[in-house]
Amino acid sequence: MAEELVHYEVRRGIATITLDSPHNRNALSRQLRAELTAHLDAAAADDSVRVLVISHTGPVFCSGMDLKEAGGASADRQGVNEFPAILERLWTSPKPVVARLAGPARAGGVGLVAACDIAVAVDTATFAFSEVRIGVVPAVISVTVLPRLLPRAAHELFLTGETFTAPRAAAIGLINSAVPADGLDAEVTRYTDMLALGAPGALAATKRMLREPRSNDLGGVFADMLELSARHFGGPEGQEGIAAFVGKRKPSWVPTGD
């Protein structure tokens, strides 16, 4: 049996999913895709999990699709056909997802980063949409990447395939912060600790709200948002949160212990 390429651990409500295929720079091989999908499903089904962290071993976060597997395969047998389902799981996860990058990301790996709600990278990490340089199109990852990037930057970087730095990735909206290597885990923990303070239902509803397009009917949008707000103010989580605030205590959903 092949060794596991993606590990899964849950502690204090944080599910850490670790890509562990450094021999091929954590490329999205058939096995890695299957294990990543299984762990994302496990985290979604576990009520004790409040936040997901996508991490990695080795010097590279993810180099994109496994090109050795892609070579010689017909269009309908390419591994990229399975990739949208992975990106969609991350993008639509009712639980917040944080990407932890201790190294570079390329192509599909950048798609993974963009699909997460929050991304933190070491300031030495680099990124590139390298697809056009090998004759393919960054089509699938554009679904998660384009909503993050400034339009001018998207045109430039998708068309040129140029490598860019973590500070620039933060400046154009791809990641949230670029930090020194010795501060990476502290920055990830800062975000996961904050996310764990949010009520699960409120976080899920807020993620849905952020994803949904809004019409030009301002009155209709206000009406929809008023209904959403009132429903959560009057719901069990809202009432518990208000009671906790008044009672100067932590709400019941805040994780405690291991």
Q: Residue 226 pLDDT > 60, yes or no?
A: yes
Q: Which CATH superfamily is domain 6-195 in?
A: 2-enoyl-CoA Hydratase; Chain A, domain 1 (3.90.226.10)
Confidence of residue 26 (pLDDT cuts 50, 70, 90): very high
- Are 251 and 201 a contacting pair, CB within 8 Å? no
pTM of the entire predicted model: 0.93
**Span 75-103, mean pLDDT?**
88
Q: Residue 130 pLDDT > 60, yes or no?
A: yes
Backbone angles phi, psi at 27, to 5 degrees: -65, 155
Mean pLDDT over each residue of the chain, to the nearest integer: 94
Q: Residue 210 pLDDT > 60, yes or no?
A: yes
- DSSP secondary structure letters along 227-241: HHHHHHHHSHHHHHH
**Span 78-96, mean pLDDT?**
90
Which pLDDT belongs to residue 74? Answer: 46
* Segments making up each domain of the chain, as ranges: 6-195, 199-247
**Span 25-45, mean pLDDT?**
96
Chain segment 158-197, per-residue pLDDT in tens? 999 999 999 999 999 999 999 999 999 999 999 999 999 9
Q: Residue 1 pLDDT > 60, yes or no?
A: no
Residue with tokens 């991304």: 119
Return the structure tokens found at 180. 């020194």
Q: Quote the CA–CA distance of 73 and 195 in Å, as a whole number.
A: 42
- Are 183 and 155 a contacting pair, CB within 8 Å? no
Confidence of residue 15 (pLDDT cuts 50, 70, 90): very high
